């Protein structure tokens, strides 16, 4: 797999990425029966990035985008190891590692409870500079445990890359930044909403409700709990 060295600008990558997510039905909007997030809070939006692994042309394009964006933003020789977060991050980490020509490892959510009781699977050393790859991030909190597990090996981890970033919770980048981690992403809910409007993918009333949520998610959620 050749290493991607050229790429569109960020705005073009965001637009194309959002359109691809809509094309494969990874995006779900439902204003009348909101989804329940992992936090237990309601949301009129839900995204399933795991579907990408079943679409090789779209998968390959997004992984080229993500690899090129990370190398441009963080440095072409910034990393020596690519780690995926269990479980959704594992296939994407493998694809990015292949493109970068680097070793790949993965991080368990918790020790497996037997054998070595490890959280890191694969080979990771004290001198490694690790890129954590996941499918998406909401408020950034779930990334911290993975980063801490990587750092516990003696390796460094100052960057995480995701396909999709919610982009609606202002504390996200501060949470990661305070932990010494920079976030790299391809697109956000705002990009997806713009693409959905352009394509006419959902009814106008649904899109208006989604926009209301994106403009003030906490207020939208508090009004429905």
What CA–CA distance (Å, rounded) separates 207 from 220?
14
Q: Which single residue is written with the structure tokens 């998968």?
A: 59
141 band by pLDDT with thresholds 50, 70 and 90: confident
Say if residues 5 and 68 touch (Cβ distance below 8 Å): yes
CB 29 within 8 Å of CB 196: yes
pLDDT tens digits for range 116-129: 668 999 999 999 99
Cβ-Cβ contacts under 8 Å for 17 (sequence gap 6 or more): 62, 65, 163, 164, 186, 187, 191
- Range in 83-97, 103-117, 127-141, 193-207 with the lowest mean pLDDT: 103-117
- For residue 27, list its beta bridge partners: 47
**pLDDT for residue 113 is more than 70:** no
Which pLDDT band, with edges at 50, 70 and 90, does 58 fall under? very high
The pair of structure tokens assigned to 143 is 């990334």
pLDDT at 116: 64
Domain 10-222 belongs to what topology? Rossmann fold (3.40.50)
Arithmetic mean of pLDDT over the chain? 93
Q: What was the pLDDT predicted at 38?
A: 74
């Amino acid at each position: 797999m050749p290493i991607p060295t050229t790429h569109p600008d960020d705005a073009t990558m965001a637009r194309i990425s959002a359109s691809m997510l809509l094309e494969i039905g990874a995006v779900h909007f439902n204003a009348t029966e909101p989804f329940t997030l992992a936090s237990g809070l309601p949301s009129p939006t839900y995204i399933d990035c795991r579907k990408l692994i079943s679409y090789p042309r779209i998968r390959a394009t997004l992984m080229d985008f993500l690899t090129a964006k990370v190398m441009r933003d963080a440095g072409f020789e910034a990393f020596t190891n690519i780690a995926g977060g269990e479980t959704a991050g594992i296939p994407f980490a493998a694809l990015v590692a292949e493109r970068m020509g680097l070793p790949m490892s993965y991080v368990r959510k918790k020790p497996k409870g037997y054998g070595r009781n490890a959280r890191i699977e694969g080979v990771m050393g004290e001198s490694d500079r690790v890129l954590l790859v996941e499918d998406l991030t909401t408020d950034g909190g779930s990334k911290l445990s993975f980063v801490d597990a990587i750092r516990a090996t003696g390796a460094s981890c100052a960057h995480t890359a995701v396909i999709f970033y919610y982009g609606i919770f202002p504390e996200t980048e501060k949470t990661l930044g305070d932990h010494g981690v920079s976030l790299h992403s391809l697109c956000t809910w705002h990009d997806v909403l713009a693409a959905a409007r352009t394509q006419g993918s959902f009814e106008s009333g649904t899109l208006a409700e989604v926009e209301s949520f994106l403009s003030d998610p906490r207020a939208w959620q508090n009004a429905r709990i």
